[in-house]
Amino acid sequence: MAVGIFDSGLGGLTVLDAVVKRLPDTPLVYFGDNAHAPYGVRDADDIYDLTTQGVQALFDQGCDLVILACNTASAAALRRMQEGWVPRDKRVLGVFVPLIEALTERKWGDNSPPRPVAVETVALFATPATVSSRAFQRELAFRAIGVDVEAQPCAGVVDAIEMGDMILADALVRSHVESLMRRMPKPQAAILGCTHYPLVEEVFRDALGPDVAVYSQPDLVAEALADYLARHPDKVGPGTVSKFLTTGDAKSVSNKATQFLRRRIEFEAAPAR
Inter-residue contact 204 to 173 (CB < 8 Å)? yes
Euclidean distance between CA atoms 68 and 74, whole angstroms: 6
The single residue of 3, 19, 58, 70 carrying the catalytic annotation is 70
- Is residue 70 flagged as an active site residue? yes
Q: Which of 142, 136, 90, 88 is nearest to 112 (CA)?
A: 142
Return phi, psi of residue 191, to 5°: -105, 120
- Is residue 154 flagged as an active site residue? no
Q: Which of 212, 210, 147 is nearest to 180 (CA)?
A: 212
Euclidean distance between CA atoms 218 and 74, whole angstroms: 15
The single residue of 129, 194, 203, 212 carrying the catalytic annotation is 194
Beta bridge partners of 214: 190
Count CA atoms within 13 Å of residue 43 on its CB side: 1
Catalytic residue positions, numbered = 70, 194
